[in-house]
């Protein structure tokens, strides 16, 4: 990872909202709901996943939304930051089908893995191994859903340039 997200465990949502320009009517909750709605359309309700992994879960909001949407599934939010995991565990303790974890076991087999705005934080020389790690915890018929910032969009670049934990990142271009 390029940044240490531990120091954002209490301010993650605020930093994102400040970067998005909440005064313009945009907030992270809106974008979270758009992403989870896409996942629901992709997966549907009839073939709901039994085990879901939100890889690089950050502040845990998308993880929690998926736990609410797929109430019969076990949803795990994985992050490398102990502080983020602890904050998420406290914030979302009422969701019984939701766990926040700091390690992935090779024996874990998920039906759905989401990776939301994570890859641009992974050093380019380590991206392939991160993708291999994600694949190693997917079941044979699992699906993966990746969301990344669109580097072609000038508004996206404006947001990323304003976000303090995006300092020094290299956005992922479609060809990559």
Q: What is the pLDDT of residues 47-106, one digit of tens each?
A: 778 999 999 999 999 999 999 999 999 999 999 999 999 999 999 999 999 999 998 876
pTM of the model: 0.88
The full set of domain ranges for the chain reads: 7-166
Q: In what order do the strands lie in the sheet with 110-116?
A: 98-101, 74-78, 51-55, 110-116, 138-147
Residue 24 is predicted with a pLDDT of 63
Mean pLDDT computed over 104-115? 86
Region of residue 133 (left: phi > 0; alpha: psi -120 to 50; beta: else)? alpha
Residue pair 56/5 in contact by the 8 Å Cβ criterion: no
Residue 4 is predicted with a pLDDT of 72
Q: What is the pLDDT of residues 147-165, one digit of tens each?
A: 999 999 888 888 888 888 8
Look over the chain and give the mean of its residue pLDDT values, rounded to a whole number. Answer: 88
User: Domain 7-166 carries which CATH code?
Assistant: 3.40.50.150
């Amino acid at each position: 990872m390029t940044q240490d997200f531990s120091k954002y465990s209490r301010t993650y949502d605020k930093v994102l909202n400040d970067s998005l320009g909440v005064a313009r009517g945009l907030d992270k909750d809106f974008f979270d709901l758009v992403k989870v709605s896409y996942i629901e359309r992709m997966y549907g309700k009839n073939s709901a996943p039994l085990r879901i992994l939100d890889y690089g879960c950050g502040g845990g909001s998308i993880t929690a939304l998926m736990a609410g949407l797929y109430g019969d599934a076990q949803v795990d939010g994985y992050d490398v930051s102990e502080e983020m995991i602890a904050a998420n565990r406290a914030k979302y303790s009422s969701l019984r089908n939701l766990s926040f974890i700091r390690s992935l076991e090779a024996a874990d087999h998920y039906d759905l893995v989401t990776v939301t705005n994570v890859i641009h934080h992974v050093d380019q020389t380590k991206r392939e191994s991160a993708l291999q790690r994600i694949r190693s915890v997917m079941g044979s018929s699992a699906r993966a859903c990746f969301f990344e910032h669109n580097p072609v969009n000038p508004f996206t670049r404006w947001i990323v340039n304003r976000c303090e934990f995006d300092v020094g990142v290299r956005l992922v271009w479609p060809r990559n």
